[in-house]
Structures are given as structure tokens and as C-alpha cells.
Amino acid sequence: MLCSVLLAALLAAAPGPAPSGKPKLMVMELTPAGGVDKEVAGALTEAITNELASRGFFTVVSSKDIRTLLGLERQKQLLGCSEGSSCLAELAGAIGAKFVLSGSIAQLGDVFQLTLQTLDSEKAQPVGRSTRLAKDLSTLREQLPFSVAEATATPLPPAPSRVLPYSLVGVGGLSLVGGLVLGLTALTREAAVNNELSQSASGALRTLDSYQRDREQIIQQKNLSLGLLGAGAVLGGLGILLNPPDVASGSARASVRLVPGPNGVALAGVLP
């Protein structure tokens, strides 16, 4: 009797029917495990709720919204529920939520695992499931758009654009090739001049001004070659650093730094 009264009160307080073509989806609180704080699970649940609402495929109702309507203590007294129990799923049915999304957040050693699943409450059948692993919570948060898409069987978000980083890498590669060719040309020309000076008879040599012009041009070619090589390295490095991680597959973000090398400095680290 008390349960019927509660459900009737909930129906009266709950929002009206969802817009046509937009089914209701209730997001239950994530279950923390493996030493994850309850506050962390609550914050991640709120982030999932916001992500689902922003995608626009569902009218999203959170368990927090229901607790606000009923009052948590009153909910426990009237239904005999403990927080995080299946009673919230029954309440979801009472407010007309066709789908219920639940899940857990666990820490497995130094890795966090987020598991989400969606249930069709009318057919009592699973709709979708997603499991994501990440080294830290911030990386896991970046994967939420893909996690909720997989769990709710909705289209994946578009991949981030890689036009700029790929362009930088391409231009940097061309600059490196141009600098290398120009440098080799300068060295070949310098070797030819030195060979001419060492092997030719005194009467066969060109004028001093001619050799000075050759020397100045060779120096300019060397400087330009070094400039192109440096610009190519900088542009290529920026392209690698700006290349967005493949969040859809859960790969790690690039972590690159300059380290001393035998011929100067070099890039080292984890690339996407």
C-alpha cells in the first residue's frame, strides 16, 4: 500500500511525457569498487548524465532527480531500499523511463575501469555495454562520449580533426628534405672548390673574387640548410604534440619531451 502511494506521488511530481521520438533514460549512481571514493563515483555519474543529456538522444532522468523529488530518507522508509539498490530501477519504470543505465567505477592496481550497461526496462533486455580502462580519471573522463555511445547503442561522436597536426608534420617533413638536399649540395660544391684549389696549377685558377663569391654562396646555402632542418624539426614536433589521442580506442595521450642526444637534442616519450 505504501509503495503504491509512493509511486503515485512520484508520477504526480515527475516531469511530463518525453518529447516524441525521445525515450526516457534513467542514469543510476555508479557503484564504486576497488577503493574508489564514493564522491568520485558520484562526480563521474553526474558527468555521464550531462554527457547523455548533451547528446540529445534521450530525455535523461538521474537517480539524483528522483531522490530530490521523494527525499532519500522517505524513499528508504517507504520502499525499504538501501542506496544503490534495484529499487531505483523500479522507480524508473514508474516514471516511464524505457531505458536504465547503470555501471561501476573500479580501481585495478594503477588502472581505472569504467563499466556501463543499458537495460531496456520494458523488454528486460540489455541494449549495450561499454568497458573502458585508463591510467587516470581525467583520461577516463575524456572517453565518456565514446563510453555512453557504446553503452546506449547510439552513434559514436566524430573523431577529432587531425588536419592541422598532419599538415604540420607534412610541411616539417618537406622542410627537412629540402634542408638535407640543400646541405648536401653545399657540401658537394665546397668539396669541388677545395679539389680545384688543391689540384689545379697556379695559372689555371680563377680569380680571387670568384672564389670569394663561391665561398659566400656556400655559407649561405649551409645556413639556409640548417634553418630548414631546424624548422622541419620544430614543425614536425608540433604536429606530433598536437595530434589528438585516439580516445575512441582508449589510447594514451602523447607524452613527449626534449632529451640530450649525441648530436644535440632529440624528442623522446610516448607518441599517440
**Across 244-249, average pLDDT:** 60
Q: pLDDT digits over 94-129, tens only?
A: 667 788 899 999 988 888 999 999 988 888 888 899
Q: What gap in Å lies between CA 48 and CA 31, rounded to an integer?
A: 13
Q: pLDDT digits over 63-77, tens only?
A: 777 777 666 556 555
The ranges assigned to domains in the chain are 2-152, 163-270
Q: Who's near 62: CB < 8 A, 6+ residues apart?
A: 26, 27, 45, 46, 49
With bands split at pLDDT 50, 70 and 90, how would you rate the model's confidence at 86? low
The residue to which cell 604540420 is assigned: 168
Q: pLDDT digits over 149-174, tens only?
A: 999 888 887 777 788 888 889 999 99
Q: pLDDT digits over 165-212, tens only?
A: 888 899 999 999 999 999 999 999 898 888 887 876 555 677 778 888
CATH value of 2-152 in 3.40.50.10610, 3.40.630.10, 3.30.365.10, 3.20.20.370: 3.40.50.10610
pTM, rounded to two decimals: 0.55
Q: What gap in Å lies between CA 177 and CA 236, rounded to an integer?
A: 12
- pLDDT of 236 > 50? The answer is yes
With b for 16 or more beta-carbon neighbours within 10 A and e for fewer, the 231-270 pattern comes to: bbbebbbbbbbebebebeebeebbeeeeeeeeeeeeeeee
Q: Which residue would you say has higher pLDDT here, 138 or 12?
A: 138
Question: Are 109 and 117 a contacting pair, CB within 8 Å?
Answer: no
Q: What gap in Å lies between CA 23 and CA 20, rounded to an integer?
A: 8
Give the orientation angle of helix 72-79 with respect to helix 87-94, to 10 degrees: 100
